[in-house]
Amino acid sequence: MQKMFFALSLGFAGVVLAHQAAHAQGQANCAERTQVIERLQTKYGESRRSIGLAANNGVVETYASDESGTWTIVITLPNGMTCLVAAGNAFEPVEEASLKKGDKA
């Protein structure tokens, strides 16, 4: 279980670092939310698969396409701008039972 939390922590740290890198690039990978989402849907056939709140009050979302296998992680900042954090291929949805206290990973 500790390994799982460690891996999740690394993943969240990666999102934060990627967000900072996007911000440092002068928001070159950012646009209005409606534009970003429309492009993900029309060009890549991606739909929202998950959503969460980052420490900086940004909304982090994962978009993916079952048909093409593409995926994208975006963050929408409190000012309304949406920035690309990461993107890739070979998306596969995974459904895992959540662990309960005392269960082994």
The model's pLDDT over 45-73, given as tens digits with 9 standing for 90+, comes to 999 999 999 999 999 999 999 999 999 99
Looking at residue 1, its pLDDT comes to 46
- Terminal Cα distance for the chain, rounded: 5
Return all residues near 54 (Cβ < 8 A) that are at least 6 apart: 15, 16, 19, 60, 75
pLDDT band at 21 (very low <50, low <70, confident <90, very high): very low
Residue 93 counted as domain residue: no
Residue 103 counted as domain residue: no
Residue 97 counted as domain residue: no
Looking at residue 28, its pLDDT comes to 72
pLDDT tens digit string along 22-40?
454 455 799 999 999 999 9
Query: Of 86, 94, 41, which is closest to residue 65 (Cα–Cα)?
Result: 41
Looking at residue 6, its pLDDT comes to 40
For residue 35, the enclosing domain spans 2-88
Query: Of 11, 74, 14, which is closest to residue 41 (Cα–Cα)?
Result: 74
- Kindly state the percentage of the chain with pLDDT values over 70: 70
Does the pTM exceed 0.75?
no
Looking at residue 99, its pLDDT comes to 73
Domain count, the chain: 1
Measured distance CA(99)–CA(38) in Å, rounded: 36
Token pair, residue 29, equals 């990978």
